[in-house]
Structure 1
C-alpha cells in the first residue's frame, strides 16, 4: 500500500467513526436548530488549525446563517510561520488564561444561544475556558475533539481540565494520537493528519441535519449556492439575503452589550 492509499484507507475509518456518532450528531442539530429558530446564534470557536472547522460551518458554499464564527487572528494566523505574527506566538497565546473571557466580553450572550467549540487535543487553555464560560452562562455547548489524541495528551490547564469536561455533548473526529495517520518507511514520525477530515465530516453532517430541521419548521435556510447550479441572479440574491440575515442576528449580540 502506498502512503496515499494508506491515508485514504484511514480516512474511510474516519467516516465510519463519524457514522457511529449519528445519534449525537442529531442531538447537536436539535440544539442548534432550536437556537436558530429563536432568532439567536450558535457560537463557533476554535484556535489553531481547528479554525478550519469554524469556516467550514459558515460562511461558505452550502452553508447558511445562524452561526457566529469566532476566529481570533492572533490564535490562528499561521501562514507567516516565523517572525511577527508567527506560529510561536499563536501557540503561546492559545494557552493564556483569561483571553477567552475577553473575547466573549464582546457579545451579549443568551441562554437561548448554543455553542460549538473545536480543539483536536482539547488541552489548550483558551478553548477549555471558552467551553467553561459558555456552560457557566447556561449555554448548551458541543465540543469536537479527537478523543484518542486528547486522552493521550496532557492538559495545559493547571487544574488538569480538558474541553470535554465543559461540554454537554462531545463529538470525536476519530483521528489517532498525534493526529498524523501515515507512517513512511525510513521516517520515524508519522505524516498526514486526520482531524480536519473527521472534523469537516462532523461539521457538514450537523449542518445538513440543521437544514432539515429548519426547513421542516417552515424556516428554510438561505443557503450560499453556486451560480452554476441556481443561476447567477439567484446566487446573488441568496448571498445578499444570507449576509443580511447574518447581520441582523449579529446585531442582537451587541444591542444590550454592557447594559445593566
Structure 2
C-alpha cells in the first residue's frame, strides 16, 4: 500500500468516528441556531493551528453570519516560524494564565451566546480558560478536541483540568495520539496529521445543521455564495448583506462592554454582565 492510500484510509476512519457523533453534532447545532435566532453570536476560539477551524466556520464560501471568530495573531501567526512573531512565542503565550480573560474583556457576553472552543490536546491554558470564562457567563460551550490525544496529554494548567472539564458538549476529531497518522519506513517519527481533516468535517456538519434549523425557523441565512453558482449580482448582494449582518451582530458585543461612558448611557440602561 502506498502512503497516499494509507492516509486516505485513515481519514475514512476519521469520517466514521464523526458519523457516530451525529446526535452530538445536532445538539451543538441546536444551541448555535438558538443563539443566532436571538440576534446574538456563536463565539469561535482556537489557538495555534486550531485557528484553521475558526476560519473554516466563517467567513468563507458556504458560510453565513452569526459567528464571532476570535483569532489572536499572537497565538496563531505561524508563517514567520522564527524571529519576531515566531512560533516559540506563540506556543509560550497559549499557556499564559490570564490571557483569556484579557481577550474576553473586549466583549459584552450574554447567556444567549454560545461558543465553540477548539484545541486538539485540550490541554493548553488559554483555550481551557476561555471555556471556563464562557461557562461562568452562562454561555454554552462546545469543545472540539482529539479525544485519544487529549486523554494522553498532560494539562498545562496548575490544577490539571482540561478543556473537556469546562465543556457542555465534547466533539472528537477522531485523529490518533500525537495527531500524525503515517509511519514512513526509515523515519523515526510519524507524519501527516489528521485533526485538521476531522475538525473541518465537524465544523461543516455543524454549519449544515445550523443552516437547516435557521431555514426551518423562517430565518434562512445569508450564505456567502460564488458568482458562478448564483450569478454575479446575487453573489455581491449576499456578500454585502452578510457582512452587514455580521457588523450588526458584532455591535451588540461592544455596545455596553466594560466601563460606561456617555455614549453607552445615551443608548439606554448600561449593564455590564462580564464580571471580569
Aligned residue for 1:144, secondary structure, equals strand
CA distance in 1, matches of 2:248, 2:136: 26
CA distance in 1 between counterparts of 2:51 and 2:133 reads 19
Tell me how large the CA RMSD over aligned residues is: 0.5
Per-residue CA shift, 1:131-159, capped at 9, x if unaligned? 00000111000000000000011110110
- Give the structure-2-normalised TM-score: 0.94
What pairs up with 1:28-107 in 2 under 5 angstroms? 28-107=28-107
**Secondary structure at 2:254 match in 1:** coil
- Matching residue of 1:243: 243
- 1:255 aligns with 255
Cα distance in 1, alignment partners of residues 17 and 240 from structure 2? 37
Tell me what 2:164 maps to: 164
Q: Distance in 2 between matches of 1:50 and 1:83?
A: 22
Inter-partner Cα distance in structure 2 for 1:93 and 1:157: 13
Match of 2:113 in 1: 113
Q: Structure 1: any 5+ residue segments left out of the alignment? A: none
Can you list the C-alpha shifts for 1:47-93, whole angstroms capped at 9, x where unaligned?
Answer: 00000000000000000000000000000000000000000000000
* 1:155 matched residue in structure 2: 155
> Aligned pair count?
260
1:182 aligned residue: 182
- The structure number with the bigger radius of gyration is 2
TM-score (norm 1): 0.99
Question: Match of 1:154, SS?
Answer: coil
Q: How far apart are 1:3 and its partner, in Å?
A: 1.0
- How many Å separate the matches in 2 of 1:184 and 1:3? 8
Residue ranges of structure 2 left out of the alignment (5+ in a row): 261-270, 272-276
- Alpha-carbon shift at residue 114 of structure 1 (Å): 0.3
Which whole-Å CA distance do the structure 1 matches of 2:33 and 2:183 have between them?
41
Q: Which residue of 1 aligns with 2:219?
A: 219
SS at match of 1:222: coil
